[in-house]
Structure 1
């Protein structure tokens, strides 16, 4: 504990964002470059080095947060990078994309603003790359065993890296033309520039991991054939089966899924397209869904030059503070949070009808109406109570030339045939069934990440990838020294 009084003398300071007017004109990350390092040492000093650090339990990776806070406060970046990478394969991803349940579990958060754990994490990760503290770690010897990992999202990549470093020969199969899953084509560039992903992939290639892109297992290569060619298979395809909105007018042109819209915008950034065929430029956009995917659509539509953007959230607007009776510390509370995209929408006044920033809370979609050519032109909504029952007299209409459905995901997409060809057992909720060792009902086939857990956070996906790697390593060799931070039935802390 570098400064025993740091939490009493130093106020919380977050990584400052660039001015709204500047950042919405480009696709670079929203934070001020170089503005984190000058403040991060003092922020790390605020860590109390608790006797029982609940941030450990709040983070499924079990990140050694007090340890690397102390090392950062002492300016020992190499040791901090070692401690960070001891539990997290990709801290530059989580430091940018994770909602930081560790901060909700910070003991300081009982009566003060939490330590800026997420900012410290990303500062260590970036400093590690800048200083050469994240070299490839190829295995000393090969085991002679082979593993196929299906899916290159955070769970698949974490599993592949762990298994490669353990000495197994690993090939990652990805159906898209580029690696990264939702990190590549779902997460907008302004939240995480893809250079961070590309740099980590190059590290994995140098370690010996093989990658097979544009290869849909079940369609381009048979799933049974793949299983016969490898000693083990890890299914980490994610939960990409999106939820639908069955209301009148859903068939109208211009009513699309968020994950039809976001990949096109990302492909423009990759140079594949000059402009997106679903661009929001000059259109009145309504986003149905109040989660992170909806916020990603919001920031993207603002940058594309939408005439207006409104986001609908079926839940009531949460309060600014934790409700100690319903969501006591150290659980992750549902409070009012303003993402960078919501800040932009608020300052630019993109949604004149919104309750706050761009959002209409307690709003349920009734129907869509279109023009004579079959294109959507308006959305009818109604205000609802806590039980989602319509409130009489609250119906209203919003102009809508483009409607984006961001309602979450129910489980893995079965369209490629992988699940059915292998005969994998499924849960009633649409996820892959597995036992306590991450194994499916098919010998040698394991399931990890959102495909088996259901829609979750990136930090849980990485934890799943690390844990399934330990299970596969044990299956192949009889035992494993790889860490297994979680079990398949573990869940976030809740009341």
Structure 2
């Protein structure tokens, strides 16, 4: 601990955000790295507490608390404070394969369990993490790590999202020959097509993929298992197979008018927009364009927020986001104590932009869509809603009831459904014949083994929709178990 009184002397400072209105004119990342001076001050705020909760990585009350990959946060905070950046990078890479991803899009449960956050704003851990890895690339410290010895074992990984990439990286470094299969035309899974460019520029993903290729990993795109290659072929050609296909089956809205033109799944909207941007800078017209249209997003989560931000950049006429829960409180409540993830009100990047553009936060709370109404051409023209009241019944169960007299009609041209994910898509799982339980692949945590010998599963396909940092954690752990299965022992963490 370099600065004993740092947490008392310095306040929290965050990454610089571009002006909300000006950033609507482009698709670049909305935040920029802090200066070295600011970063050193933020590193100095770390208390190096005797029992650091920031890297414990547990689920408390159903929410992630601390870092699931157990980043050595106090160590690299102190090294940044002392200006020892290369050593900080070495510590960071000991536990995290892709800090450039988590440093941009992770919700930072580490900060929620930071000891400073008991009474003051947390240390800016996420910003420091991003700065360390970005500086590592800029200074040329990150170079391809070519394994010196190959084991002769071959592994196929299905899915190139964060779990698949982390698993591939670990197994490749163990000396195995790794091939990653991806059904999309680009590598990255949700990192490429599920997260908008303004949160994670795709050059960042491509830079990492290029590095992994240089280290010996082979990527096969535009290839769907069960269609282009059979599961039996993979099992015959490889010594082990790891399923990392994610949990991309979107939850549908069963409601009158769902079939109308203009009603879309949120992830389809985000995926097509990013693909059109990368393919042609939107010249191909292969995305849903909401310019001059009234947009409503149903679902109050991050995917919905990304739809809001995307619609704003397309110059929509208006945008509203519906959520079923009440607005979160400004401060932690008694049933959400530290070190749980803080359930408090925040103004995400998308909402900052909507407020700057239209003068108000686009979120509507405790609202339920009753039906979608279309015009004579079968296109959506309006949504009918009613306000809800959230209560707890005598058995302690949360119930929602309609509030009479709060009905409202909303003009609308496009509706984006962002109410979560049901789990993994089943065709590829059925192709393999893996056992499914509660809509997910049945594979015990810590082992990742399926009912098929030599077939493993990790990430969202096993645990359900979750955080990128959990996907990296499971990809790393699955690699360890695959290595143990192939070699009888393992040195992987």
Normalising to structure 2: TM-score of the pair? 0.94
Counterpart for residue 365 of structure 1: 369
Counterpart for residue 299 of structure 1: 309
| Aligned-partner SS, 2:277 | helix
Check whether the contact 2:16–2:31 (CA below 8 A) recurs between aligned residues.
yes
Q: What's the CA shift for 1:482?
A: 0.8
Q: What's the CA shift for 1:35?
A: 4.0
Summarize the alignment of residues 58-457 of structure 1 with structure 2, pairs less than 5 Å apart.
58-272=66-280, 273-274=282-283, 275-323=285-333, 325-349=334-358, 357-386=361-390, 387-414=399-426, 417-428=427-438, 430-436=439-445, 437-457=447-467
| Aligned-partner SS, 2:149 | coil
Counterpart for residue 31 of structure 2: 31
Query: For residues 188-247 of structure 1, what are the alpha-carbon distances to aligned partners after superposition, in whole Å with 9 as ceiling and x for unaligned?
Result: 110011111111111101110000000001111011211111000000000000001001
| Aligned-partner SS, 1:271 | helix
Q: Distance in 2 between matches of 1:38 and 1:252?
A: 54
Q: Distance in 1 between matches of 2:407 and 2:188?
A: 42
Q: Distance in 2 between matches of 1:361 and 1:219?
A: 43
**More off after superposition, 158-167 vs 269-278:** 269-278
Cα 1:126–1:72 change in 2 (3 A) is: same
Query: For residues 154-201 of structure 1, what are the alpha-carbon distances to aligned partners after superposition, in whole Å with 9 as ceiling and x for unaligned?
Result: 000000000000000000000001100111111111001111111111
Counterpart for residue 489 of structure 1: none
Q: What's the CA shift for 1:276?
A: 4.3
Q: What's the CA shift for 1:8?
A: 0.4
Counterpart for residue 43 of structure 1: 42
Q: What's the CA shift for 1:435?
A: 2.5
| Aligned-partner SS, 2:210 | helix
Counterpart for residue 493 of structure 1: none
Q: Distance in 2 between matches of 1:277 and 1:176?
A: 16
Q: Distance in 1 between matches of 2:235 and 2:17?
A: 47
Q: Distance in 1 between matches of 2:6 and 2:257?
A: 57
Check whether the contact 2:255–2:372 (CA below 8 A) recurs between aligned residues.
yes
Cα 1:227–1:254 change in 2 (3 A) is: same
Q: Distance in 2 between matches of 1:418 and 1:361?
A: 37
Counterpart for residue 63 of structure 2: none
Counterpart for residue 473 of structure 1: 483
Q: What's the CA shift for 1:452?
A: 0.6
Q: Distance in 1 between matches of 2:37 and 2:291?
A: 38
**More off after superposition, 395-404 vs 36-45:** 36-45
Query: For residues 1-60 of structure 1, what are the alpha-carbon distances to aligned partners after superposition, in whole Å with 9 as ceiling and x for unaligned?
Result: 11111100101011121111211101111124x544341110110000010000011110
Gaps of 5+ in 1: 351-355, 484-495
Counterpart for residue 488 of structure 1: none
* CA RMSD between the two structures: 1.1
Q: Distance in 2 between matches of 1:63 and 1:453?
A: 21
Q: Distance in 2 between matches of 1:195 and 1:36?
A: 22
Q: Distance in 1 between matches of 2:211 and 2:173?
A: 12
Counterpart for residue 54 of structure 1: 53
Q: What's the CA shift for 1:277?
A: 3.7
Q: What's the CA shift for 1:149?
A: 0.3
**More off after superposition, 13-22 vs 72-81:** 13-22
Q: Distance in 2 between matches of 1:136 and 1:314?
A: 47
| Aligned-partner SS, 1:54 | coil
Q: Distance in 1 between matches of 2:31 and 2:148?
A: 40
| Aligned-partner SS, 1:124 | helix
Check whether the contact 1:222–1:418 (CA below 8 A) recurs between aligned residues.
no
Query: For residues 261-305 of structure 1, what are the alpha-carbon distances to aligned partners after superposition, in whole Å with 9 as ceiling and x for unaligned?
Result: 111110122024413441111110000011110011110000000
Cα 1:35–1:52 change in 2 (3 A) is: closer
Q: What's the CA shift for 1:385?
A: 1.4
Normalising to structure 1: TM-score of the pair? 0.94
Check whether the contact 1:289–1:405 (CA below 8 A) recurs between aligned residues.
yes
Give the structure with the larger strand fraction: 2
